[in-house]
Amino acid sequence: MTKNFTLLMIAFCLSLASVQAQEDTTKATSPWKRAGFVRLTFNNTGLSNWAAGGDNSIALGTVLNFNAKRETKRSIWDNTFHVDYGIARVGDGDRLFKKTKDQLSMMTKYGYKLTENWNISAAVNFSTQIQPGYTYKVDSLGKESIDQRISDFFSPAYILPTIGIGYQNKIFSAVLSPVANKITIVLDDSLSSVGAFGVEPGKNIRNELGIDFTGKLTLELMENITFDTFVNLFANYKTTQFIDVNWTTNLVFKVNKFFSASFGTHLIYDNDILIEQPDGSNIQAVQFKHVLDIGLMVKF
């Protein structure tokens, strides 16, 4: 892993140890509820004289999630830390390992209760990636190499502070924020110089004042099967005809105490992000990803 990822994991482990120590001494009286898990996945396909064709492949992945919530009669304070990272190689040694997923996100949200279900909410969401993203090329001999870097740690990164009104019950929560500021950060000078991810060429930060909506639904469909979905919609007040969409779903099957399977989807649309097409053109387009994971999961 890169230096960035190593430092993040060390910091998280230290904070988790501190939280656990505090929980052991104040468990009976603490208003905090804490939960988390680490899931590790591995997949390998090996073919020899396989008449139907195909490629050897290796895939590795990890998901780390931690949540801490403090609820009192008058307030709710919810905090989440999430890492989702995976790499894969399709083919033999002349092919490179490429990342298949790469997300680092943190959220803190405070709600002051107006009634049992309604509250005034203030939140800050942060997201970026851990490792650089590349395009690749293959030479005439079939050897694969890196073509160009198209993203990196904090290139982009998004910070979204919001103030609004929220609703929450046991399975559903939603916040409508008429005051929201989407901050796009591109620290890499080579990417900012070409105006990547919507920043002005040569600039590292872009601010967009707009309106934001978030919604989250969590259901236990049956014993050991859970479903959750999260959607975030943002519109810049200057261009309200364009709505940025970030929508995830996750279906988790618990096999036993340590093994689980999950199927997740992630849909993104951002009018400021141009997607390169096979013909070399760059256009606005819907980004979509689905991931099936089967592996070891440890809860804490």
Domain contains 268: yes
Domain contains 103: yes
Size of the chain in residues: 300
Domain contains 290: yes
Q: What is the mean pLDDT of residues 220-249?
A: 94
Domain contains 107: yes
Domain contains 15: no
CATH of residue 82 = 2.40.160
Contact 34, 68 (CB under 8 A): yes
Domain contains 26: no
Q: What is the pLDDT of residues 65-83, one digit of tens each?
A: 999 999 999 999 999 999 9
The pTM of this model reads 0.82
Mean confidence (pLDDT) of the chain? 87
For residue 129, the model assigns a pLDDT of: 96
Domain contains 110: yes
Say yes or no to pLDDT of 277 above 90: no
Tell how many helices (H) and how many strands (E) occur in the chain: 2, 16
Domain contains 128: yes
Number of domains in the chain: 1
Q: Is residue 2 very low, low, confident or very high in pLDDT (cuts 50, 70, 90)? A: very low
Name the residue range of residue 119's domain. Answer: 31-47+69-299
Q: What is the pLDDT of residues 184-209, one digit of tens each?
A: 999 999 999 999 999 999 999 999 99
Start-to-end CA distance of the chain, whole Å, equals: 23
For residue 53, the model assigns a pLDDT of: 75
Q: What is the mean pLDDT of residues 23-50?
A: 77
Tokens of 91: 């083919």
Say yes or no to pLDDT of 148 above 60: yes
